[in-house]
Copies of this chain bind each other. A is one copy, B any other.
């Protein structure tokens, strides 16, 4: 497919570009803060940059009437609304976490929460020392999936890209589901799945959970 990247020279931009090229796709649009390089019309634009660029991104998506995959975090409520509205014209996939593993982890928690409703639950997350917020958004998503109050412990350690675990315990046994991000590659793979999904849709607003369930 022909794709474009907003935030091309950022770390996530590079990661997406590397994976898409490796899979034989063609980069035809590269947008950064001050530079723009457009070769031909993209079928999908991927935006993993900052909320401030949303207006410009939407303009480009409309110009080429192409799909949009956005993994930007920190949108305002108005911006979220603008993205949903855009979904009436073109296919849009929006998510805060494009890792397949985390999505499957949520599914597994869903499977366990009823049979283990009397067990203790504990969530832990470990991230690099530069991460300011505690607990991580993903840990909060896991807690929400359990559907009852769950303690979350946060570790800040070296340069760990992101570990999450959820443990269920009874008097006789412990079940633990753990997820470890090895690199941003995990998110690039989720973006690829989303792009492959999006270019087959006419229009619509989708989350990454939708992408995986309709695959």
Contact = CB atoms under 8 A, between A and B. Distances in A.
A144 interface: no
Interface in A1-25: none
Contacts of A119: 158
Interface in A85-114: 99-101, 104-105, 107-108, 111-112
One complex includes copies of this chain to the number of: 4
Contacts of A154: 153
B174 A176 contact: no
Contacts of A158: 119-120, 169-174, 182
A175 B104 contact: yes
A168 to B, nearest CB: 8
A122 interface: yes
Most B-side CB within 10 Å, residue of A99, A155, A187 = A155
Given A158-B169, A158-B171, 14 more contacts: A101-B170, A104-B116, A120-B156, A120-B157, A129-B169, A157-B174, A158-B172, A159-B172, A159-B182, A159-B183, A170-B185, A172-B181, A173-B180, A177-B178
Interface of A: 99-101, 104-105, 107-108, 111-112, 115-116, 119-120, 122, 124, 126, 129, 151, 153-161, 167-189, 212, 215
